[in-house]
Amino acid sequence: MPAINTNASLDVRNFPSNGSDGYTDTTASNNAVYSYRYTGGSDQAGGLRAQVGQGAATLNLSLAADPRYTIDAVTFDDPKGQLSWRGNAPRNGVLTNSNTDVEEGHYYVQVKDSVANCTVPCDPMVINERVGK
């Protein structure tokens, strides 16, 4: 399995999911319920799955939401320190996974809503598997 270089997009809405639209509810910093949905990525849900030792994997992420939303920050739950982020603009960037060790991690995209002046957390998965899984 060669290194993965894939694209994903993130859509954010300032209202809850209806339960069958594929969006995930999340609570913004102003305590309002928002919803988000990732598309693309290696799992079609914004995730990045790679097999260890197959080279670095990258995910080009674009915000495909209303212009009021921008990427405010990207943080990680990354026990083995394999993830990094390079933001290209307020609405896109590149996640790089060095993919050198087995790990299940998360990257957290914090989106800023300029109208409501709040931030919205959005969390997909990153998984590095042993070769042959």
Instruction: Quickly state the pLDDT bin for 133 (edges 50, 70, 90).
Output: very low
Average pLDDT over residues 49-60: 86
Instruction: Give the dihedral of Cα atoms 107, 5, 67, 18; nearest 10 deg.
Output: -60
Which CATH code, of 3.30.1330.90, 3.90.330.10, 3.40.50.2300, 2.60.40.10, is assigned to 5-129?
2.60.40.10
pLDDT at 90: 93
Which CA distances in Å does 106 have to 68, 83, 124? 25, 9, 6
Q: Which of 100, 99, 98, 95 is nearest to 124 (CA)?
A: 95
Q: Are 125 and 87 in contact (CB under 8 A)?
A: no
pTM of the full predicted structure? Answer: 0.86
Q: What is the rounded distance in angstroms from the CA atom of residue 87 to the CA atom of residue 116?
A: 23
